[in-house]
Amino acid sequence: MSPLKVHRSAALSLKAQTSATSRPTRLRFDSTTMTLSRLQDVPFDVRNRYYAVSLHYNADADQMVGGAEDSDPRSRTDKFKYSLSKKTRRMAFEKRVHRMKGDSVLASEARVRALDEGGISVRDPQSYINMLAAEGAILRSFYASAQYTTEKSRFDAGSPMADFARKVKRQYGPAAAAHAKTLVVIVGESMLQGRFARKLAILNTSNHLRFSQGQSITTALTDLGIDVVLVNDSHTASKCSLCHYSLRPCFLRAADGDAKRREFSITPRAGFEAIGQLRLCDSRQCKAHAAAQVHRNNEERDAEGAAPFHDLRIISVDVNAYVNRLVVWKSRHRPLFLCSNRRQRLKVKDMRNADIARGLLTERPLACLAF
């Protein structure tokens, strides 16, 4: 396996894990040892034994986005999302705590707020102390309970990366088992370089981490028993996964001041705002798809709520990137539309033709492209 260009801390972590034995060059099919592998080290003929989940890092939103090989990319419930932001993580913790509180605890907190807002502490201090003591007994019983302390300890001892890896296993592990396959996560090589690698080092500096400091996301996943495969993600975010044409920038504005009725453009225009996380496709195939979609949507609305007609397919950069990586995983050779230059395309064509002549399968259908 060629050396991976990863952040120094991640590289040292990987080296420590493999120092006892020689580093494997491919997934260990007959062993419980989980590995980090390059795509070219995983034979195409055995990839069908794996249930693939592709993940993409959105640097602007600071979150991981992805989906499984059989999920619907257009469905919000089928997509995987996890924010690495500390603020978002704390908000999620507070929501879980709120769900744990019973009616008596919520009512007690409301009464305490009313006492503070009513100014009774100034008018009648002794009554304020007595009522506060009564409410305090209710609140102490909750915050001293095993349910809350366990949740709080898990939040304090966890890290964004460790929580993320557990969510991946919890969400996709049962689906892989249902298909009688092994779960594998597909990530782009660029995720281990540049800004993302530096961010990992910053996120994992707490003294209460469950795993070693400075671990990368690949280490977090493999430590939980999940295979990780790195793919060359060149052009995966810039080429349409449906028609394979180059994507165009997205500019939009609200039609007549109504945010629900939007107009789109692929070129800058007065009053239009550039949207970094969206792209537009103006190929013939995607235009027909978009026009039909707008027509179907308008049939379900009244005349005033109808959206302005457009024939540009709207694509999320995150979704397009993770779907294209699944396409790479399902292909024996790199797909032609993701090749970097003419020489590479010619080489891939020759190899594909040779495989077809020998009766070999060159690619497997991807279920998520059928939606």
Q: What is the pLDDT of residues 82-118, one digit of tens each?
A: 887 777 778 888 888 999 998 888 988 888 888 777 6
Spell 190-216 as b/e; 16+ CB within 10 A means b.
Answer: bbbeeebbebbbebbeeeebbbeebbb
Give the sign of the dihedral formed by CA 315, CA 316, CA 319, CA 320: positive
Identify the three-state secondary structure at position 283.
Answer: coil
Lowest mean pLDDT: which of 46-60, 265-279, 283-297, 339-353?
283-297
- Residue 335 CB: number of other CB atoms within 10 A? 20
In this predicted model, which residue has the larger pLDDT, 206 or 72? 72
Residue entry with tokens 């040779």: 354
Please tell me the predicted confidence (pLDDT) of residue 304. 54
Q: What is the pLDDT of residues 162-181, one digit of tens each?
A: 788 889 999 999 999 999 99
- Domain spans, the chain: 1-233, 240-371
